[in-house]
């Protein structure tokens, strides 16, 4: 009887460990998805400011003074990137055409979906850039 109790206890302990691991993993994945879910330019700006604030121990006044500098640099980088957008898209189109020759039709559809998502992110960045330029313009 005591041997049966020992095995039952070990099984319960093992099951509790497995359940704890599953729940911990689900919580971790959900937290990562929430933190990295928004990758747009607004989120980039917020992450930059948050990191600068934490790592440099910026005061509220310094944050207020530095925010426009970060905004300017961020917008300048976006403008530079979009000034080369045609070249970037030409390179991607060639690369995708070459890749598609090696993919199944289902994989080609997935690649097209991925590219559509990339184009949507670019459009979000373009919209952000236009809105910020309008906001800054006198």
* 20-69 pLDDT per residue, tens: 888 888 887 776 655 555 667 778 888 889 999 999 998 999 999 999 99
Distance spanning both ends of the chain, measured CA to CA: 85
Q: What distance in Å separates the CA atoms of residue 46 and residue 70, rounded to the nearest whole number?
A: 10
DSSP conformational letter for 1: -
Go through the chain and tell me how many residues it has. Answer: 138
Q: What distance in Å separates the CA atoms of residue 45 and residue 71, rounded to the nearest whole number?
A: 7
Rounded CA Rg of the chain: 25
Mean pLDDT of the chain, nearest integer = 86
The owner of tokens 């729940």 is 23
């Amino acid at each position: 009887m005591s041997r049966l109790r020992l095995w039952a206890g070990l099984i319960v302990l093992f099951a509790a460990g497995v359940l704890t691991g599953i729940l911990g993993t689900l919580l971790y994945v959900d937290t990562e998805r929430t933190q990295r879910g928004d990758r747009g330019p607004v989120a980039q700006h917020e992450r930059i400011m948050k990191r600068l604030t934490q790592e440099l121990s910026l005061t509220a006044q310094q944050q207020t003074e530095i925010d426009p500098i970060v905004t300017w640099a961020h917008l300048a980088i976006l403008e530079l990137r979009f000034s080369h957008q045609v070249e970037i898209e030409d390179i991607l189109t060639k690369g995708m055409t070459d890749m598609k020759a090696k993919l199944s039709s289902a994989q080609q559809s997935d690649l097209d979906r991925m590219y559509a998502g990339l184009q949507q992110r670019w459009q979000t960045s373009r919209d952000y850039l236009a809105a910020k330029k309008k906001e800054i313009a006198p």
